[in-house]
Amino acid sequence: MESRTYAIIGAGMMGREHIANLALLPEAKLIALADPDTGSRKWSGKAAGEDVRVFADYMEMMREAKPDAVIIASPNFTHINVVTDIAEFGAAILVEKPLATTIEDAEALATLAKSYPNLFWVGLEYRYMPPVAKLIDVLHDGLTGPVKMLSFREHRFPFLPKVGDWNRFSENTGGTLVEKCCHFFDLMRYALQSDPVRIFATGGMDVNHLTERYDGRTPDILDNAYVILDFANGSRAMLELCMFANLTHQEERLHVVGSKGRLSVSIPEAVVDWSPLQGLAWSEKIDTPKEAMAAGDHHGATYFQLCDFHDALVTGRAPTLSAEDGLWSVKMGAAAHRSIETGLPVSLNARGDFS
């Protein structure tokens, strides 16, 4: 496959994950990275190697390095400005999730993407976890029959520290159900091949960050929630999130139940189970290359997403994960937050809009 040059904007935790995974793709040559934080530049610059130029200003990086593709892994609230700024250079763009922190900004970027002359991709990489990808493949082949119920449970550790602890406030992240759960909402739409029409949620901030103070302010990010969704095709889905369960053995479980039986997968166990109403049950362990597992915290998903992104970049095909996918995932998270605020279900129209 043909080679292309890459740059990264945002040299924090996710930026370093991209550095490690790009190193596994010989055709993807990282040439530059940018971050305003001195510590992040030092840490990520060392990880990237001496041949990678390091900048404090991303516009200077774009002018001087002229990469073929740019990965934006800067804080959520910066996405709207960073993407708008670098779009003038015309490089291919992979912007990490969430696309933006507000529906208004996400819509603006989705509009920009429609007329963008190059590849525009949103980093919702959970689709690329090999065990999840296996489950969805057999689901879309019709194994379960029409899906009636889907449930996703994540029991995990609290939000990790970030530079300046920017992720402690919903105004910077979009809120937990946008920042963290946009992955799951995208996965639901993809698995069910349908859009949500109604969302009801309940949640709170009950354990994490309660004693933290930042300039006299207390963090306001949810640490647990239930979200129930009705889809246009008649399927129902549920998300269960708990971010103070950091000793759980299987951090994530996905169940899909259709008229013919149930498909399940657990992460990190990576076993796909099929339990039919009639016939033989089976279990299959899905292996992920050790190098991809070691290069990040997303069960190899970042590596496989970058492989797909690079293929699209070289071949000129459409993105697998479009700005519209990113917009829908933001709208679903925002609707869930609205439901929690009002105590009422939120109805969405065919475009995902709600009042």
Instruction: Show me where the domains of the chain are located.
Output: 4-125, 127-297+320-347
Round to whole Å and give the CA distance between 131 and 243.
22
Instruction: Please tell me the least confidently modeled range out of 28-37, 258-267, 290-299.
Output: 290-299
Write down the pLDDT at residue 164: 87
Asked if 70 contacts 8 with a C-beta cutoff of 8 angstroms, the reply is yes
What does residue 307 show for φ and ψ, rounded to 5 degrees?
-60, -45
Mean pLDDT of 281-307: 96
Q: What pLDDT, in 10s, does the model give residues 60-103?
A: 999 999 999 999 999 999 999 999 999 999 999 999 999 999 99
pLDDT category of residue 206 using cuts at 50, 70 and 90: very high
Phi, psi of 302 (to 5 degrees): -60, -40
pTM above 0.85, yes or no: yes
3-state secondary structure of 4: strand
**For 335-350, how does the pLDDT look when each residue is reduced to its tens digit (9 = 90+)?**
999 999 999 999 999 9
In this predicted structure, which of 65-74, 238-247, 270-279 has the lowest mean pLDDT?
A: 238-247
At the topology level, CATH places domain 4-125 in Rossmann fold (3.40.50)
The per-residue pLDDT for 293 is 94
Please, is 43 exposed, middle or buried when counting C-beta atoms within 10 Å of its C-beta (0-12, 13-18, 19+)? middle
Q: Domain 127-297+320-347, CATH 3.40.50.2300 — does that match?
A: no
In the predicted model, what is the mean pLDDT of the chain? 96
Tell me the backbone φ, ψ of residue 46, rounded to 5 degrees.
-65, -40
What's the pLDDT score for residue 161? 87
